[in-house]
Structure 1
Amino acid sequence: MNTQTEAFLTEKNLANNNADWAEVGKSHPHESAVLHVLGEARYTDDIPEVQGTLHAALGLSSKAHANILSMNFDAVKSARGVVAVYTAKDIPGTNDCGPIIHDDPILSEGLVEYVGQPIFIVVADTHDNARRAVRKAEITYEELPAILTPQEARQAQSFVLPPMRLQRGDAQAAFERSPRRVKGELYVGGQEQFYLEGQISYAIPKEDRGMLVLCSTQHPSEMQHVVAHALGVHSHNIVVECRRMGGGFGGKESQSALWAAAAAISAAQLKRPVKLRADRDDDMMVTGKRHCFYYDYEVGYDDEGRIIAARVEMVSRAGYSADLSAPVATRAVCHFDNTYYLGDVDIRAMCGKTNTQSNTAFRGFGGPQGAIAIEYIVDNIARDLNKDALEIRKINFYGRNDAEGRNITQYGQKVVDNVIHELVAELETSSEYQQRRADIKAFNISSPVLKKGLALTPVKFGIAFNVTHLNQAGALVHIYTDGSVLVNHGGCEMGQGVNTKVCQVVAHELGLNLDKVRATATDTSKVANTSATAASTGADLNGKAAQNAAHTLRQRLAEFAAKTYGGEQADIRFAAGLVSVNGLDIPFEALVQKAYLARVQLWSDGFYATPGLHWDPKTMSGNPFSYYAYGASVSEVIVDTLTGEWKLLRADALYDAGNSLNPAIDIGQVEGAFIQGMGWLTTEELWWNKGGKLMTHAPSTYKIPAISDCPEDFRVSLFKNRNVQDSIHRSKAVGEPPLLLPFSVFFAIRDAIASVADYRYNPPLNAPATSEAILSAINGVEAMAASSSQEK
């Protein structure tokens, strides 16, 4: 960042100079809320089709690992409405859609590596005809051995990239001086993104080898690159546009590339528009999910429960290609500590190559998988010491200041914004945790079948992309002569409200009411080289970039106003649609009209790059995060020990959104993340059969939480705080961190199971904690109790 940019990106210079007026910090409705309710919000499949539009479908592998011996498309080509069939040899450019490593073909070139891998494209006159036709292909295979689980990948040393290792101190020596140790294994399953709008791309050929791709994606610039490479053209030939997504959750960060490329390849060959919309079954069969993780852990601790040494080996199910597995594993390593200081550690992470879908980004991006392991360990320590887990959590928290010497993470970043002590204390009081803990123990003594459980779990989540160069954003802001404002930025709206927040920032900067500002579709021809809307950085990066642009415009208008009306430029105020200068209150639009006639430039670009970030992937050390978001939650559950059924009775969540840009949207994000994370840990089970076919590939077999799963008593609040870093108006990200809050649900279930044997044994509960898993854990606890009784 150059010195001039740094100068006016400081909070002092960017703060609106009217202290009693603001458009940020207010609970404005989502900018598309009315359109959503009326069904008028236009998604990619709602865009009116150009005359001559054709429809594509993908032909998928039925084998997990095999060589293709032959393909017969005669029946496909003769099927109703079929226009063309394309295979890898018909791709004019590069047959690859891998985001980092080029190991992810758009279409198989003879080797298939999972059930559901695309092999060919069928283009027909209708969507249904294309889907019916793909099933008529005759393909013969030579089957090869398949690896399906992370445990199998670990045993076979099958990885998509070299293992990672982070060490601090001397873990072995620390273990030797530890009075106590706990060791074990844990398995945490993956999760389907289950966005309401499935994968879809609509490619429309333009003149001179140009292509417009309307795509439901979190990363238009990456789609632009993939399509350009696939077609063998320059990026400037390709325009990718996304007005909004019906959900993304990471599943449309890199994996929308396959659909964009397939549609564009077909459209380029036929010189006609082609739409490729995935049905839910195809979507779930083809696309990757949250990585499931297998853990082998050991921790040394003292008689008070303070952790002295930690060793963990994490193996993820990466799938058949690398995709984003490397940064997911990196974030898991960096979040293994969660809110706890770990002095001597040895953390290893491996990305298992398996013959399953190539797993990808999912809300939290490895952070939840890293943090849940240490929470499981802390839960074990507490039970081993016959103490409340909250007591063990508190004693291991990062220190409040430098003097305690407990505020440096395992990767070397200093924790300078720690509020976890105060936040947890506030939640412990407001949730009546201690009284409810006593009440629940009393209930369990008198209830032989139904058991209640309670848990409080904390969250510390780093905000920024792992890869430093991705932490940048651009924006354009236009002021029209009627005083209305149009903003375009590189972020993608997927329901999280990034457009609303960015418009609030621009309105605030220009002293306008929010209804004067409008955001347009994300478009690679307007803001180039954008980063994905991911890593919880959407509002942080794009808000700063838009603020930068709006500030430039305000400075120009202030300079013009001072020249026109007199007075000092520094004293000019922009507020409530008025510009106050030298004792006069001039309507904003009137000043704009005069400025236009005076040939003052009424548009500006803006840019922002997050300062202070660095990361060394070889040593796994550095300063990868701009700041940390904190939170905590308390969950109370009741479990039927005869059936394994359970219900969440009450949930209290307190989240640190900093100086919230929009409290209503932020609270909604926390609520949604809580329920989504609860689904990951309890009901959403991915299951592959022995042949490697995903059997949970539809809403009938894959169970996301329903309204009946939400607690009747759900209390969500924002912690009063102000970011110590110069984030956009000192706010904090709210996209991913709240997904870790429902850890408390999982551990409350574990607490209820432990009560079956008077809390003496650690229940062997893996995630998701389905009814079957709960029953298995109850049986495990009862068996441990029986064995102990026999020994006595």
Structure 2
Amino acid sequence: MRKLIEARDSKQLPSDHIVSTKVKNTPHESAVRQVSGTARYVDDIPEPANLQHAAVGMSEVASGKLVNIDLSAVWQSEGVCDVILAKDVPGHIDIGPVFKGDPLLADGEIKFYGQAVFAVLAKTVQQARVAATKAKIEIQQTPSILTIKSAKKQNAYVRPPHFMKRGDTKTALQDSEHILTGSLTVGGQEHLYLEGQVSMVMPEEEDRMLVFSSSQHPSEVQKLVAEVLGIKLHKVVVDMRRMGGGFGGKETQAAQWSCIAALLAARNRCAVKLRLPRQQDMIITGKRHPFENEFTVGFNAQGKISATDINLQGNCGHSPDLSDAIVDRAMFHADNAYYYPHCEISGHRMQTNQVSHTAYRGFGGPQGMIVAEAILDAVARKVGLDPLTVRKQNLYSDFTGDMTPYHMQVHDNILPEIIAKLEESSDYWLRREKIKQFNEGSPVIKKGLALTPVKFGISFTAKHLNQAGALVHVYTDGSIQANHGGTEMGQGLHTKISQIVATEFGVSIDEVDITSTRTDKVPNTSPTAASSGTDLNGKAVQNACISIKKRLAEFFAKKVHGQAEDVVFMNNKLQLGEHAISWFEVVQQAYFDRISLSANGFYKTPKIHYDRETGQGRPFFYFAYGASVSEVSIDTLTGEYKLDRVDILHDVGASINPAIDKGQIEGGFIQGMGWLTTEELLWQDQGRLISNNLATYKIPAIGDTPKIFNVDLFEQANIENSIYHSKAVGEPPFMLAISVWCAIKDAISSLSEGKIDPPLSCPATPEKVLRCVIEMQNELDGGVKCK
């Protein structure tokens, strides 16, 4: 580790960990196909001759008991071949991914508005969707729980609360010079992947099934399809070439549609496709968890925090889904980048009659991290200091091993260096002074500025998921085919895996092909989530490559009477001293010498452990860091605002592909900005989602992108032995967008000359900004406070 730290500090990496510049500059492996429209998604697969189409009928109440279902009109509808209810499921009806609570079809009880009650099979998509509207469903309505407040009042939880504690928080708060309390409402978010939920299932010989699913977790789809049909897992093969986006929305919630399609396919011995229309997709699938958070913080006159008591309450919807781990992750990140000497953090998993909320980029981390930034803003304005000054003095120390609330030591904190560089490159303090002068002379338009950091833990918090497998074949012409358990959803995973294979064998990337993720090639895989796709699968593929390289090196070394460990693979050849042989020639010779040119690979993340009973352990292999500066302008007469400039410096370790990493950072930031500013989920009183299409749900557009958008990589080797000492880059950039929310608050606060911290909930829509501006003006005039 010491050598790696020294190499990092000197900006040099050990030579055996360098990915060549030529390989680094590789474009996305599907870029041309995606731009030209030839990239194949599930709905583009050539349809078999006997394909039928499925649709689902939904509940129109949020809570109740199924009294009667009249399907006669559905059966009589044009083109209908079959209709199924919960009673028609031969195997498991409950497809909950971790805990029970997710029936494939409503089984006597209605749990949320839009729940699938039945499924219909017809000859065309249109016929199936029309038929699904003709059922007469009689439901005895029961009182529904639609808010966290109501759930708390009725003691409704999907899982028990969880707690973390370090030090003596109660005493430390009593001894603090200043104490503040606050609350923060954090909205959910629709995934809005470009490719909606879709599956096509083809029955094969006997009871075998071939499933094409737009899923981040093919192994889970395989397991649940088998359980629903009442057959063994080895009878089901799931194939997943690529998704048109996932963002967590296809980690667990893609399985239901594959299971329904498989059930209909098995009953009718025909291929079945089920593709949800966009509006139904938005109604019937889970979102990012909305949260209601509360905090008490103690601190001194310089803004140094002494103690925190944080209460996180997540709206989980009707079932557990992944909520246990998601609220855990929110708790893990309620400190963000800051050291709390004494702290208590509680996490509550509230049950409501909404769709079961699920994984979303950051997996609860953003909902916890924003609390930390709300606390730092509140403290800074109380003591009259610039928020950046207060943030810097509360950071975890650099390489001193400060301990997190869950008792994990922070050994690799590079945030002080990142923040210092970004301060300088973004001209933070000069701009701060200019903004102050601008605001003093501008009665209507107010500007705001904020620099916020990110410290994000990388690993699945469920330890068993931190494993991956791979299969690598070298063919006799020297070409290489690799398969791994990760799924490609546009993030460039297959591209990076190709680079790893090419680097290991020292060949051109044109010699490498990554095939569809398939459960009959690499079994028992983890979902592509938690930013771990390259970390896990890259190491597994590398492990398989090393096995093949060892055989080839031993074969070549024996021929030239050298040592196998001295053989170098590079520039399409094997080199041993003065001896060299081309890659293609050695592969041919090895084949004729009956040497295996295929290998399995496996990897499991080391060092991680966590005890939920004690709330202590090391749930993460390492942390990824970053910081962003956002500048906004708000119109105090309308609440409208514009993001003027963004500067980002983000830690990617030793980047495998800087271009892809920058794309992930830019995309993650904009998506995070949408969550915090424009993407507002709205339900009416009876639990019906009314923000269910792009006319009522606003995602960021190109016009929302700042004119000045500076993104730089902080490339220093990961001190942990990740693949080529790179770092994950999928989720951490999402939380860089918290600087936008903080900048909007900064602009509003300028009305009070920075003395009042506006309690602005998320998303900070123009309506909420205007309301906050008006109520702050009232407060300054001695009226009501902003809520």
TM-score, structure 1 as length reference? 0.96
Structure 1 residue aligned with 2:689:
694
CA contact (8 A) 2:476 2:591 kept: yes
My pick for the range that moved more, 779-788 or 287-296, is: 779-788
Q: Which amino acid aligns with 1:469?
A: H
Question: Structure 1 residue 379: deviation in Å?
Answer: 0.4
Matched, 1:321 2:319: yes
CA contact (8 A) 1:340 1:397 kept: yes
CA contact (8 A) 1:566 1:581 kept: no
Structure 1 residue aligned with 2:766:
771
Structure 1 residue aligned with 2:41:
43
1:452-475 C-alpha deviation (Å, 9 max, x unpaired): 110000000000000111100000
How many Å separate the matches in 2 of 1:224 and 1:756?
57
Q: Secondary structure at the match of 1:163?
A: strand
CA contact (8 A) 2:23 2:509 kept: no
Structure 1 residue aligned with 2:493:
498
Structure 1 residue aligned with 2:86:
88
Matched, 1:231 2:229: yes
Alignment of 1:355-754 (within 5 A): 355-402=353-400, 407-754=402-749
How many Å separate the matches in 2 of 1:641 and 1:731?
44
Q: Which amino acid aligns with 2:230?
A: G
My pick for the range that moved more, 707-716 or 406-415, is: 406-415
My pick for the range that moved more, 236-245 or 750-759, is: 750-759
How many Å separate the matches in 2 of 1:247 and 1:19?
31
Q: How many residues align?
A: 773
Structure 2 residue aligned with 1:185:
183
1:497-548 C-alpha deviation (Å, 9 max, x unpaired): 1111111111101011111111000000000000000000000000000000
Q: Which amino acid aligns with 2:480?
A: V
Structure 2 residue aligned with 1:259:
257
How many Å separate the matches in 2 of 1:780 and 1:628?
40
1:36-80 C-alpha deviation (Å, 9 max, x unpaired): 111110000000011110000011110000111111111111111
How many Å separate the matches in 2 of 1:342 and 1:17?
39
CA contact (8 A) 2:655 2:715 kept: no
Q: Secondary structure at the match of 1:121?
A: strand
Q: 1:18 to 1:744 in 2, by over 3 A?
A: closer
Structure 2 residue aligned with 1:250:
248
CA contact (8 A) 1:24 1:508 kept: no
Question: Structure 1 residue 721: deviation in Å?
Answer: 1.2
1:382-424 C-alpha deviation (Å, 9 max, x unpaired): 111111000110110001133xxx6111101111110000000
Structure 2 residue aligned with 1:6:
none
Structure 1 residue aligned with 2:7:
none
My pick for the range that moved more, 123-132 or 572-581, is: 572-581
Q: Secondary structure at the match of 1:668?
A: helix
Alignment of 1:158-307 (within 5 A): 158-307=156-305
How many Å separate the matches in 2 of 1:606 and 1:723?
22
Q: Which amino acid aligns with 1:355?
A: N
How many Å separate the matches in 1 of 2:399 and 2:240?
45
- What's the RMSD between the two structures over aligned residues? 1.5
Q: Secondary structure at the match of 2:410?
A: coil
Q: 1:51 to 1:748 in 2, by over 3 A?
A: same
Q: 1:21 to 1:585 in 2, by over 3 A?
A: farther
How many Å separate the matches in 2 of 1:610 and 1:312?
30
Q: 1:789 to 1:143 in 2, by over 3 A?
A: closer
How many Å separate the matches in 2 of 1:18 and 1:417?
22
Q: Which amino acid aligns with 1:352?
A: M
Question: Structure 1 residue 25: deviation in Å?
Answer: 6.7
Q: Secondary structure at the match of 2:724?
A: helix
Question: Structure 1 residue 374: deviation in Å?
Answer: 1.1
Question: Structure 1 residue 16: deviation in Å?
Answer: 10
1:338-363 C-alpha deviation (Å, 9 max, x unpaired): 00011211111111100001000000
Question: Structure 1 residue 20: deviation in Å?
Answer: 8.6
Question: Structure 1 residue 565: deviation in Å?
Answer: 3.0
Question: Structure 1 residue 789: deviation in Å?
Answer: 12
Q: Secondary structure at the match of 2:559?
A: helix
CA contact (8 A) 2:172 2:298 kept: yes
Q: Secondary structure at the match of 1:515?
A: helix
Q: Which amino acid aligns with 1:569?
A: A
CA contact (8 A) 1:25 1:663 kept: no
Q: Which amino acid aligns with 2:490?
A: G
Structure 2 residue aligned with 1:310:
308
Q: Secondary structure at the match of 1:741?
A: helix
Alignment of 1:21-36 (within 5 A): 22=20, 26-36=24-34
Q: Which amino acid aligns with 1:640?
A: D
How many Å separate the matches in 1 of 2:437 and 2:118?
62
Q: 1:131 to 1:733 in 2, by over 3 A?
A: same
How many Å separate the matches in 1 of 2:455 and 2:634?
29
Q: 1:789 to 1:361 in 2, by over 3 A?
A: closer
Structure 2 residue aligned with 1:9:
none
Structure 2 residue aligned with 1:11:
none
Q: 1:275 to 1:19 in 2, by over 3 A?
A: closer
Q: Which amino acid aligns with 1:230?
A: V
How many Å separate the matches in 1 of 2:696 and 2:108?
31
CA contact (8 A) 1:23 1:505 kept: no
Question: Structure 1 residue 18: deviation in Å?
Answer: 7.3
1:747-783 C-alpha deviation (Å, 9 max, x unpaired): 0001111112222211121000001110111122112
CA contact (8 A) 2:677 2:763 kept: yes
Q: Which amino acid aligns with 2:370?
A: I
How many Å separate the matches in 2 of 1:155 and 1:363?
30
Question: Structure 1 residue 23: deviation in Å?
Answer: 6.5
Q: 2:346 aligns with which of 345, 348, 356?
A: 348
CA contact (8 A) 1:191 1:680 kept: yes
Q: Secondary structure at the match of 1:281?
A: helix
How many Å separate the matches in 1 of 2:412 and 2:153?
41
Q: 1:546 to 1:218 in 2, by over 3 A?
A: same
1:294-316 C-alpha deviation (Å, 9 max, x unpaired): 01211111111111111111111
Q: Secondary structure at the match of 2:256?
A: helix
Structure 2 residue aligned with 1:131:
129
Q: 1:789 to 1:240 in 2, by over 3 A?
A: closer
How many Å separate the matches in 1 of 2:404 and 2:37?
47
CA contact (8 A) 1:202 1:213 kept: yes
1:99-124 C-alpha deviation (Å, 9 max, x unpaired): 11111101001111111100000100
CA contact (8 A) 1:17 1:574 kept: no
Q: Which amino acid aligns with 2:301?
A: D
Alignment of 1:65-80 (within 5 A): 65-80=63-78
Q: Secondary structure at the match of 2:49?
A: coil
Question: Structure 1 residue 27: deviation in Å?
Answer: 2.4
How many Å separate the matches in 1 of 2:58 and 2:754?
49
Q: Which amino acid aligns with 1:210?
A: R
CA contact (8 A) 1:27 1:665 kept: no
CA contact (8 A) 2:55 2:132 kept: yes
Q: Secondary structure at the match of 1:319?
A: coil
Q: 1:20 to 1:432 in 2, by over 3 A?
A: closer
Q: 1:551 to 1:686 in 2, by over 3 A?
A: same
